[in-house]
Amino acid sequence: MTKRSMRLASISISLVAAAIATQATATLPPPSDAAVAQAAEAKAKAAWADKVGAFQTCRSMDRTAEAYRQSLKGAGKDAPPAMPTPPCTDPGPYVSPATASASKPLEASGAHSPPGQAVTPPSTKVPAAEMTDAKK
């Protein structure tokens, strides 16, 4: 290959790479509400699964350490004292964030009463019959 053909080849490769990079940086439409909710659900479930895994690992480590101490005592040797560690915390059953907010009691949601204090009475002393006549 000559220098000129190598130069043309490198220029053409650069142009192709630029064209591909331009297409790769095209903007995507924003995700739908359902896709956002599904992603949030997956993230919450993965976080819960991590907590469950950490809990199971903690319990397993506690059982292994206890079995080691018991085997030393069975062999007539002195077992080292247990190191103080934080207790294993059970994450409990999985609760979906959507279910948690939907299952809130009505009192906690604040939907049963308007915000703020009432400054006027909720009704007037005008009879309903007079109010409907005035509208006609």
Tens digit of each residue's pLDDT (9 = 90 or more) over 45-102: 999 999 999 999 999 999 999 999 999 999 999 888 888 888 999 999 998 887 655 5
Q: Residues 97-110: what's their mean pLDDT?
A: 60
pLDDT value for 107:
58
| Better pLDDT: 95 or 110 | 95
Tokens describing residue 120: 């006027």
Which residue blocks in 1-136 are alpha helix, DSSP H?
Answer: 3-24, 33-74, 97-102, 106-109, 128-135
Q: Residues 22-44: what's their mean pLDDT?
A: 85
pLDDT value for 90:
92
- The tokens 């049963």 sit on which residue? 112
Q: Model-level pTM? A: 0.52
